Amino acid sequence: MNLPMEREGECHSCGECCQTVNMTVVRDVTLQQHGNMQELQRYLSYRGIQVVGSDEKRNQLYYSMDVPCSELTSDNRCRVHGKKEKPLICQRFPESKEDVEDIKNCGFRFTPVLPGQSIRG
Ligand code: SF4
Ligand code: SF4
């Protein structure tokens, strides 16, 4: 059973979620283009891109590029926080436990809401 998840905690400005650009691409088309996963990984590695996940069922591949955000200050603050210039995805982050599962020090965590419990607003 897939229980709804509740987000708890808060951002403590570790800056980890601002260090990479993550992308999702169509798995079968991409592997067809490159021949196989090894070839794809070689091609991407020359450009500093890593394949960090593969989901056959969803037909998706996940890429990550080490490209720190230009709006991240040296003390890990977001220069555009609270402003309309802050990207929507950053305003919403993290939306799911998958968003933070590779970020050990994130101040947010997700816990399942058991039947009979309500999600706090
Ligand atoms: S805009 Fe702000 S929150 Fe978004 S990646 Fe850049 S520094 Fe981080
Ligand atoms: S990884 Fe979590 S705690 Fe760190 S800056 Fe991002 S939202 Fe905040």
Give the residue among 97, 101, 100 at the shortest CA–CA distance from 112.
Answer: 97
The confidence score (pLDDT) of residue 50 equals 97
CA–centroid distance for 71 within its chain: 18
The confidence score (pLDDT) of residue 22 equals 92
The confidence score (pLDDT) of residue 60 equals 97
Pair 25, 12 in one domain? no
41 CA to centre of ligand 2 in angstroms: 28
The confidence score (pLDDT) of residue 120 equals 60
Pair 11, 28 in one domain? no
Please give the model's pTM, rounded to 2 decimal places: 0.81
Total number of domains in the chain: 2
Average pLDDT for consecutive 10-residue bins of the chain (121 residues)?
A: 87 94 96 98 97 96 96 96 96 92 90 77 51
Q: Which domain covers residue 2, as residue numbers?
A: 1-18+71-116
The confidence score (pLDDT) of residue 119 equals 62
114 DSSP assignment: P
**Hey, what are 29's tokens?**
């088309």
Best of 10, 12, 16, 77 for a ligand 2 pocket test (most atoms within 8 Å of beta carbon): 16
Question: Would you say residue 121 lies in a domain?
Answer: no
The confidence score (pLDDT) of residue 104 equals 86
